Amino acid sequence: MTYLTYQITRLKAFSMYLWAVIQAILRHNDSSRMTIRTDQETIEVEALMMVACNGPREGGGFHVAPQADPADGILDYAMIERVSRLMMFRLLPEVMNGTHARFKPVRLGTFRTMDIQLSRPLPIHTDGEMFAGFQSEITGLQLELLGRALRLIV
């Protein structure tokens, strides 16, 4: 979705991100087989979206990880398994409100370390900036929370 926001010049803030999400659902509803290992669990899933979060909001205000707290010493994740475009549109207002966890294809959790292996390269963004685009060959990613590496004032 982040790469689509670079193409939107007339909209700003939340409306820009909302339009980018709609475009992403319409254009790129491809899932990837993921093996995710955290310090708490191992998950093998076909997923459309996987987001690691330090705070509850992303993309201009979407409540992607409603329980995330930047001061709690853990990271949160939100994942949506492979679903139809129609179901993604059904989930969209739920993600906007932070009520999407009640749906079966949605999984929320926490971790300190995470290793993700992908069946194919996917675009990756970090804090709204492209880290790896569609031409990337990245099929693995490791995330680790480093305590006291960044001081946050909450």
Asked if CATH classification 2.60.200.40 holds for the domain at 2-144, the reply, yes or no, is: yes
pLDDT attached to residue 152: 56
User: Which CA distances in Å does 129 have to 6, 41, 116, 125, 126?
Assistant: 10, 28, 19, 5, 5
Domain boundaries, the chain: 2-144
Alpha carbon 81 to chain centroid, angstroms: 12
pLDDT higher than threshold 90 for residue 87: yes
CA distance 82 to 5: 23
Q: Please say if the pLDDT value at position 9 is more than 60.
A: yes
What pLDDT does residue 5 have?
Answer: 54
pLDDT of residue 77 exceeding 70: yes
Beta-bridged to residue 40, according to DSSP, are none
Encoded amino acid at 125, one letter: H
pTM: 0.85
> 91-124: per-residue pLDDT in tens?
999 999 999 999 999 999 999 999 999 998 887 8
Q: What average pLDDT is seen over the chain?
A: 86
